[in-house]
Each structure stands twice: as structure tokens, then as C-alpha cells.
């Protein structure tokens, strides 16, 4: 007959460790997913802001606003490094103010006319020179969106720092849980360990026999956590319907993206089982050797 394992797979400590580690891996997947989504969103927003500018032409007394807007467009379109300069309709400019002022409050207000400018990212225009050229237009002001870009970058860094802090706390908590579980396993099977010492078994041999249990526990908990994490993102994507913005669209983008991006995203998510296994294996081995050394 094949001899049984030193630590049975049905041990209560290992079952509790599997459940707890699965929850930790699930939280880690959510933190990693949030980190990926924040990075993608900020990259998309800042790339759009960095290549686009806006020219505002305010209504001034004694000037023809239509003529001044056209003059600003012509100067900007001919400027080196500018791909296009398009005049927005008055209705488009009014829609930008509707969330703050509403529709009725805009009637009779001197709403500035806007010009959307797209710059060449490979050969960007000289901003100070463009601002100086626009001094020829009365009431014109160039907005490069640098303030908004800086705010988005600052927000992304803060959210990334929070995500990294959460991952660090999860790792520390997982290590503590494995330490307590290892001690509980040794305490519950103290008589078996004493018997093995009595027949001459070394600590390294006993530790190797127990390592396999923690290896399987880490792998199982890791894949359960990843599965729950992927299911959560899928559920968020389905509950959002066909909306093209918000959390639902971001969740679908995380799961169903281009191969080059998907390999990177899924690689980070499926690194969680490997990390969980290493945490279980290394922490359990160190704890076992220290406890066995103290016991002997």
C-alpha cells in the first residue's frame, strides 16, 4: 500500500488557508485590474489632450466676431506644426456650457467662439510663437490643456500608488496567514512530526513532505482568485449593456482587447497564482524550518 501523506489534504488549517488565500488573490486581481484600467484611461486622455488645443475668441466691442474667428483660424492653420484648425459651431460651444449653465441661461450671453486645433505630435508647433501670432486677433486666447493633463497625470499617480499599497497589504496579510496556518498544521500533527524525529527523519525531509501541500494550496487559491476576478470584470461588462463609456466599457476593454494588450493584461492577472504559490511555499518552508529547529 502507498503510504499516506504526513499532512492530509482535508486538514482544517489547509482548507481555511485555501479559502483565505483565494479571497486575497481575488482582491489582488481587482487591484491589478483597476491599475491597468487607470493606466489605459489616463494614457488615452492625455494623448488626446497633448495633440489638441483650443482657441477661444471672445466677443469684443467694435469688432466683427465672425471676421476675427476666421482670421484666427487662418493664422493657426498656416502655422508650422498644425495639422488642422476647425471652427466649431455656436451650438457646439453652447453644449460645452450646458452642464453648468443649462440651455435657457445661455440665451443672450456672449459665448466665445471656439476653434479646435490638432497639432502634429512628431513636429509640434511652437506654442509661444503661436500665442504671439494670435495677438493679431482681438479677444483670442490659446488653451493648450496642459493644466488638465497635469491634473489627470497627478490623479493617475495617486490611484496607482493606492493600488500598489493595496497589493503590498495583501501580500503582507497573505504572509501572516500562511505563517499562522503553518504553525496550526504543525501543532495539529505534532505527534506525527515527533514520531518522524524518533525514527531519525531530518527536518529538511519533513519540510519537503509538507511543502507539497502548501504548493497545491497556493496554486488552487490563486486560480480560484483569478477566476473570480475575471468573472467580476465580465459581469461588470455585461451589466453595463452596450454603453461605450464608464466602468462597463472599461471592463470589456480589459477582457476583450487587441492581442498585444491582452497578453500584457492577462499576464499580470495570471501572475497572481504564481505569486500566491511562492508566498505559500517560501513562507511555509521558513516557518517550518524555524519551528522544527525550535522543537528539536
The DSSP-derived string for 94-162 is HHHHHHHHTTGGGTT--PPEEEEEEE-SSS---HHHHHHHGGGSTTEEEE--HHHHHHHHHHHHHHHHH
Q: Strand pairing partners for 52?
A: 118
> Treating both helix axes as pointing N-terminal to C-terminal, what angle do 12-51 and 271-295 enclose, rounded to 10 degrees?
140
The pLDDT assigned to 142 comes to 86
pLDDT at 2 over 50: no
Question: Which residues are within 8 A (CB) of 78 and not within 5 positions of it... i.e. 6 or more apart?
Answer: none
pLDDT at residue number 296: 46
d(CA 115, CA 175): 57
CA dist 291 → 178, 183, 203 (Å): 14, 8, 10
Model's pTM, two decimal places? 0.69
Domain borders along the chain are 12-46+149-295, 59-138
The secondary structure of residue 63, as a DSSP letter, is S
What pLDDT digit, counting tens, does each position of 169-199 carry? 999 998 898 888 878 877 766 766 667 667 6
Q: Which of 272, 183, 168, 258 is nearest to 227 (CA)?
A: 272
Please report which confidence band the pLDDT of residue 1 belongs to, taking 50, 70 and 90 as the band edges: very low
Is the pLDDT higher at 289 or at 82? Answer: 82
Average pLDDT, the chain: 78
Sign of the alpha-carbon dihedral angle for 94, 95, 100, 105 = positive
- Quote the DSSP letter at residue 2: P
As a whole-number percent, the residues of the chain with pLDDT over 70 amount to 75
**CA atoms of 10 and 170, how far apart (whole Å):** 25
Distances (CA, A) of 121 to 28, 46, 146, 162: 37, 12, 15, 32
In angstroms, what CA-CA distances link 65 with 82, 136, 138?
A: 23, 13, 9
Amino acid at each position: 500500500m502507498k503510504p499516506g501523506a504526513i499532512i492530509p489534504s482535508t486538514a482544517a488549517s489547509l482548507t481555511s488557508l485555501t479559502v483565505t488565500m483565494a479571497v486575497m488573490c481575488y482582491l489582488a486581481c481587482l487591484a491589478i485590474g483597476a491599475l491597468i484600467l487607470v493606466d489605459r484611461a489616463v494614457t488615452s486622455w492625455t494623448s488626446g489632450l497633448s495633440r489638441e488645443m483650443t482657441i477661444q475668441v471672445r466677443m469684443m466691442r467694435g469688432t466683427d466676431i465672425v471676421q476675427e474667428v476666421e482670421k484666427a483660424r487662418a493664422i493657426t492653420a498656416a502655422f508650422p506644426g498644425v495639422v488642422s484648425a476647425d471652427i466649431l459651431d455656436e451650438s457646439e460651444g453652447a453644449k460645452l456650457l450646458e452642464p453648468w449653465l443649462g440651455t435657457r441661461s445661455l440665451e443672450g450671453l456672449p459665448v466665445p467662439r471656439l476653434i479646435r486645433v490638432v497639432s502634429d505630435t512628431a513636429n509640434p508647433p511652437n506654442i509661444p510663437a503661436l500665442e504671439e501670432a494670435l495677438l493679431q486677433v482681438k479677444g483670442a486666447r490659446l488653451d493648450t490643456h496642459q493644466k488638465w493633463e497635469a491634473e489627470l497625470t497627478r490623479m493617475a499617480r495617486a490611484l496607482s500608488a493606492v493600488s500598489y499599497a493595496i497589493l503590498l497589504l495583501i501580500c503582507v496579510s497573505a504572509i501572516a496567514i500562511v505563517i499562522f496556518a503553518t504553525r496550526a498544521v504543525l501543532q495539529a500533527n505534532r505527534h506525527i512530526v515527533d514520531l518522524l524525529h524518533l525514527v531519525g527523519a531530518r527536518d529538511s525531509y519533513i519540510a519537503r513532505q509538507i511543502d507539497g501541500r502548501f504548493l497545491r494550496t497556493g496554486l488552487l487559491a490563486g486560480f480560484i482568485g483569478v477566476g473570480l476576478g475575471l468573472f467580476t470584470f465580465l459581469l461588470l461588462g455585461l451589466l453595463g449593456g452596450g454603453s461605450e463609456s464608464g466602468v462597463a466599457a472599461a471592463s470589456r476593454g480589459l477582457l476583450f482587447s487587441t492581442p498585444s494588450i491582452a497578453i500584457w493584461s492577462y499576464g499580470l492577472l495570471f501572475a497572481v497564482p504564481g505569486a500566491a504559490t511562492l508566498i505559500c511555499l517560501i513562507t511555509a518552508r521558513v516557518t517550518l524550518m524555524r519551528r522544527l529547529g525550535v522543537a528539536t
